[in-house]
Structure formats: C-alpha cells, structure tokens
Amino acid sequence: MALGIQDLMKDTAMVASLAKDAKDAALLNGVLMRTKEASNSAELVTYAPFTLFPTPVPKAVFQQALNVQTHYNSLVDKISQNANFLNEALASTVEVDEFTSRLFEIHRQILKEGSSQSVVLGLNRSDYMLDQKDDGSSSLKQIEINTISASFGGLSAGMVGVHKHILKVAGRLDDSMTILDNNPAAGLARAIAKAKELYRSERFSSSFKLLMNTVNQYRLATFTNTFFPRAVVLILVSDDEQNIYDQRCVEIELMKLNVITIRRTFEDVFARGSLDKEKKLLIDGMEVAVVYFRNGYVPQQYKSQQDWDTRLMLERSCAIKCPDIATHLTGTKKVQQVLARPGVLEQFFPNEPQVVEQIRATFAGLYPLDMGPEGDKTVAMALKDPEQYVLKPQREGGGNNIYGSEICKVLQEAKGSERTAYILMDKIKPTPSHNYLLRRDSSITVSNCLSELGVFGAYVRQGKEMMMNEQVGHLLRTKSSVHADGGVAAGVAVLDNPLLY
C-alpha cells in the first residue's frame, strides 16, 4: 500500500495534475481558511494547507491511540477535581510563569466562592508521535493533551473526501476505501448539546420535576418553553480568526441538534454581558448555557485587564464552561510532567492497573526543572546532550518549544527559579515519510515529512456521575522535517489522513 503511494510520487506529471484536482476537492469539501490579508472577510478564502496523499500509519498504533482516549478523558476530569494535586503540581510554575499564575488566581477565587455549576464538559485532544528506536522497534508517545480550544475537529471531516477522491483519480481505489470516515465535530457538538440539556434540567426545582411526571408532554413543552426559554451556547472567539470554518463546522453540527449558538469576543462579553443574582450569564438579553472557549489559551489573547476580568466573570457564572478553569490548568505541561512520576497515576486509578498501564505506555520521558537536586540533575542531562530533548514552556498553540543548542542557552541564562517555567521531555524521533505539502502560492515539491496523530475526546459529568465519555475522532497533521515545531494554525503543519496498514 505505502509502496504504491511512493511510486505515484515519482510521476511528476501525475503529481501536478493531482495537485490541481486536490485543491478543487479541498474547496468542494469545505477544507477552508480565511487568508492572512483578509482574516475577517468571508469574501476571500483559500484551502487550508494539506498533504497531497494520505500518510501510512500502522493500524495497531492508531488503534492504541483511540483505545486510550476515554481513559485520558477520565484522567483529565479526575485531576480537575483534585485541588490539592493542582496546587502542588503547579506551585513552582506559578511563581515564575505569569500567564499560568493569573489562571491559577482565578482558580483560587472559584475554589473560595464555590462552583456555581455541577455539570462539567470536557472537549480535548491528545497528540502523539511514533517514536522509532535504534533497534527498529517503535512505540506511541504522547506529545501533549489539549484541554482548551482543541482545533481541526471540523476540517478533519472534509479531508476524508479529499484523499478518497485523489486516490480514486490516481487509480488507487482499494487504498481509497481504507480512509476511515471521521467527523470529530459531530462528537464535539453532541457533548456540548448534552451539557446544554443538563444545564436546562438543573434549572427545574424538585416541584417542577414532580410536575414533569403529572402533565402530558405537550403541556410540559408549552410550560417549559414559556418559563424556561431556550438558552444558547456562547462560542468565545478572537476578533481575528483565520480558522473560522473549523469552528463553523461545530456550529453546523449543533444546529442539526437544534442548539442555538452565538459568537462573541472577550470585548463583546465585557460590554454586553452580565451575571444576574442567580449568577446566570446573560449576553444581549440571552441566557448562556455553555461557554465554549475557542480563545483564551495564550497570553496574547488577553489584551488588557478587562479581558482577565471577563474570564473571571465567565468562570463565576453558572454557565457550563468548556473548559472550566481547573480543566484548563490540567492541560499544562507541568501537570503532564508530574503525572509521569512513579505512583502518580495510581492515585487517580487506585484499583485499575490496566488503565494505568495503558496510559503510562504512551508517556515519553518527562523531567522536572524544579529548584533542587532533581532539577539540577535534569539541567546537567540537558546540557550534556541537548539534541536528545525538548524544552517545553507552559504554552499552547504550537511554535513554543525549544530545541538543540537553544536549550543550553535558555537553561544557562535562566536566573534563579526561572527554569521552573519549563519542563524537559525526551525528543521523539519518528520515521520520516515523503509527501507533497500543498499550500497557497507554494511550489509543488516533495518533502521529507513527520506526522503527529491527535485523538479527540468528549465527556460530560454531572456531579459524580459521568454522563458521557467517548473518543469522537482523530486528526493527522504532517510537517516538513526541517521544522522542529509548529502546528497548522502556526503555518508549519498541514492537514492529513492516516492510511492504515
């Protein structure tokens, strides 16, 4: 199968023809982005960057990533409920990382006031690479888990049609049939809709619930629509969004479920939003049931104190937050590193050794940079052989990691406890493949590529009861091996599909 794709790549005339077809297929399948020069205009769009051919991925590894996702969902949820664990894990980080510190201050305030909502909604994506060892063996290793604004669940569905079409045009009908159907946006929307349903049900008092058992459905519907009008889902967005169509895919799936959405920025919420005496979140006169964050995950997205005040208001409300502040903090790199310590996973799954084994099997080597002998040992290890490691700050969005000689520079220049803003991770070394990366206005040349597999998870918990816990789809991103770091939104990686073998 993989050999057949490699043979196609050698036919330059065929490649040029397929590339034209592929770009049209991307537009027809909605694999779209707005342009940098007109990021707020729907009048000028282009295809999101993608690979001409799907990338071969071992079926066993792919299945391993899918199978462990519900366990990661549970782990994230358990950590978010453990205030002592988060406090201990992030104690050194909040002292030196201002962004994490400000998030944690909101977390402290919510803990002090008490949560206004018993329903928790989590939409995350766990990212992996296939680590190739010197002896020829390979294993799935986690890069990170994204607990806020996990993107490309929408455009992934369109990529299925693109690669199926290209393989058929190329005469690879059997290969085209192995491309799996994949629509993460539908699963993400289903979880949002479930959370919204629970929000509405919680507004009924016990007397109203009793009424539900004594009146017929028609009268009940009339009653609830009169006294409990339909609440909306707020999608918190930036005012400059190239990747809007990925977000729109989730909105369309929500519309299919009769869920109304509104798009607002931090500035909009501050200007036109408020909490009533019951802490209901109201925006432009509409009650908000769920806040779905597609913004607010990097420092640059908080342009002023006003934006931080708005984030706090959202967290204090009884709207369901996706993620809530504790779940946001659970996705930090420091928490990822602490989880890799012996005995830590067992704290969250004390009677489930098989779950611990499945999760731990995906861990790469992770090392602390805390002040003290253990951190000093990590620094010495990194300085001795920096090419074997990655230095990771507490940031999302891609393009933030540090490699090679830059690791030495950062660690040597770090003053006092500044190094605790980072963690050190073993550098994963996947086997390269060849592919054509199609970007707007770029030449069509074959590239040596590395790929990263993401798996989407969705869960909804009400009180102590898990109401939904699912793996809802996957994402493959591929980049040229000349780039050490960066995702699709950062302009480095492109969208792809796994070709299972």
Which of helix, strand or coil describes residue 103? helix
Residue 498 carries which side chain, given as an amino acid letter?
A: P
Give the mean pLDDT of 286-293.
Answer: 98
The reply to whether 151 belongs to the active site is yes
Residue 140 maps to a domain = yes
The label of the residue with tokens 């493959």 reads 476
Residue 426 labeled ligand binder:
yes
CA pair distance 364, 241, nearest whole angstrom: 33
Final residue before a domain boundary, out of 427, 458, 476? 427
Give the mean pLDDT of 95-109.
Answer: 97
What are the two backbone dihedrals, phi and then psi, of residue 42, each rounded to the nearest 5 degrees? -85, 0
Residue of 190, 194, 311, 392 marked active site: 392
List the single range of 6-15, 21-30, 181-190, 263-272 with lowest mean pLDDT.
Answer: 6-15
User: With bands split at pLDDT 50, 70 and 90, how would you rate the model's confidence at 25?
Assistant: very high
User: With bands split at pLDDT 50, 70 and 90, how would you rate the model's confidence at 10?
Assistant: confident
Structural domain count of the chain: 2
Q: Kindly report whether the peptide bond that precedes residue 323 is cis, defined as omega within 30 degrees of 0.
A: yes
The reply to whether 84 belongs to the active site is no
The residue ranges of DSSP E strands in 331-421, in sequence order, are 366-367, 389-393, 402-403
pLDDT tens by residue, 144-170: 999 999 999 999 999 999 999 999 999
The residue ranges of DSSP E strands in 346-464, in sequence order, are 366-367, 389-393, 402-403, 422-426, 433-438, 446-462
Asked if residue 261 lies in contact with residue 235, where contact means CB atoms within 8 angstroms, the answer is yes
Residue 238 maps to a domain = yes
Closest CA to 497 of 246, 160, 47: 160
The reply to whether 477 belongs to the active site is yes
Is the pLDDT confidence value at 306 over 80?
A: yes
Mean pLDDT of the chain: 92
Residue 224 carries which side chain, given as an amino acid letter?
A: T
For residues 127 and 195, membership in a common domain is answered with: yes
pLDDT number for residue 212: 54
The reply to whether 396 belongs to the active site is yes
For residues 305 and 197, membership in a common domain is answered with: yes
Is the pLDDT confidence value at 90 over 90?
A: yes
User: With bands split at pLDDT 50, 70 and 90, how would you rate the model's confidence at 206?
Assistant: very low
Final residue before a domain boundary, out of 379, 396, 427? 427
Per the structure, the complete domain to which residue 379 belongs is given by 365-427
The label of the residue with tokens 């090679």 reads 404
Residue 87 labeled ligand binder:
no
Residue 427 labeled ligand binder:
yes
Residue 241 labeled ligand binder:
yes
Q: What are the CA-CA distances from residue 386 to residues 300, 376, 410 (Å)? A: 29, 15, 11
The reply to whether 139 belongs to the active site is no
Residue of 125, 172, 264, 461 marked active site: 125
Residue 448 labeled ligand binder:
no
pLDDT tens by residue, 355-405: 999 999 999 999 999 999 999 999 999 999 999 999 999 988 777 899 999
Residue 413 maps to a domain = yes
Phi-psi bin for 260: left (phi > 0), alpha (psi -120 to 50), beta? beta
Residues 6+ apart with CB under 8 A from 88: none
Residue of 80, 311, 477, 487 marked active site: 477
Closest CA to 50 of 496, 441, 398: 496
pTM above 0.85, yes or no: yes
CA pair distance 440, 212, nearest whole angstrom: 56
Residue of 151, 156, 183, 451 marked active site: 151
Residue 396 labeled ligand binder:
yes
CA pair distance 89, 76, nearest whole angstrom: 14
Asked if residue 485 lies in contact with residue 452, where contact means CB atoms within 8 angstroms, the answer is no
Residue 296 labeled ligand binder:
yes
Residues pairing with 287 in the sheet: 282
pLDDT tens by residue, 317-340: 999 999 999 999 999 999 999 999
Residue 110 labeled ligand binder:
no
To the nearest 10 degrees (0 to 180), the angle between helices 244-256 and 184-202 is 60
For residues 172 and 245, membership in a common domain is answered with: yes
Q: Which segments of 203-243 does DSSP mark as H helices, in order?
A: 206-212, 217-227
Asked if residue 295 lies in contact with residue 238, where contact means CB atoms within 8 angstroms, the answer is yes
Residue of 187, 396, 419, 487 marked active site: 396
DSSP single-letter state for residue 294: S
Residue 252 maps to a domain = yes
pLDDT tens by residue, 463-484: 999 999 999 999 999 999 887 7
The reply to whether 10 belongs to the active site is no
For residues 369 and 235, membership in a common domain is answered with: no
Residue 151 labeled ligand binder:
yes
Residue of 122, 144, 435, 451 marked active site: 144
For residues 483 and 391, membership in a common domain is answered with: no
pLDDT number for residue 489: 66
pLDDT tens by residue, 454-468: 999 999 999 999 999
CA pair distance 149, 395, nearest whole angstrom: 13
CATH of the domain at 422: 3.30.1490.50
Residue 434 maps to a domain = no
Residue of 34, 264, 311, 333 marked active site: 333
Closest CA to 248 of 266, 232, 261: 261
Is the pLDDT confidence value at 4 over 80?
A: no
For residues 147 and 32, membership in a common domain is answered with: yes
Q: Can you list the pairs that 374-378 forms with residues at least 24 positions away whose Cβ atoms lie under 8 Å?
A: 375/419, 375/420, 378/424
Residue 466 labeled ligand binder:
no
For residues 301 and 185, membership in a common domain is answered with: yes
For residues 147 and 261, membership in a common domain is answered with: yes
The reply to whether 144 belongs to the active site is yes
DSSP strand pairing (422-426 vs 366-367): antiparallel
Residue 489 labeled ligand binder:
yes
The reply to whether 88 belongs to the active site is no
Residue of 78, 115, 360, 397 marked active site: 397
For residues 237 and 370, membership in a common domain is answered with: no
CA pair distance 408, 395, nearest whole angstrom: 20
Give the mean pLDDT of 436-450.
Answer: 93
Asked if residue 420 lies in contact with residue 370, where contact means CB atoms within 8 angstroms, the answer is yes
User: With bands split at pLDDT 50, 70 and 90, how would you rate the model's confidence at 224?
Assistant: very low
Q: What are the CA-CA distances from residue 17 to residues 21, 52, 143, 170 (Å)? A: 7, 11, 36, 10
Element of type H or E holding 495: strand 494-496
pLDDT number for residue 3: 52
For residues 349 and 234, membership in a common domain is answered with: yes
The reply to whether 360 belongs to the active site is no
Residue 86 carries which side chain, given as an amino acid letter?
A: L
CA pair distance 294, 149, nearest whole angstrom: 5
For residues 163 and 276, membership in a common domain is answered with: yes
For residues 402 and 494, membership in a common domain is answered with: no
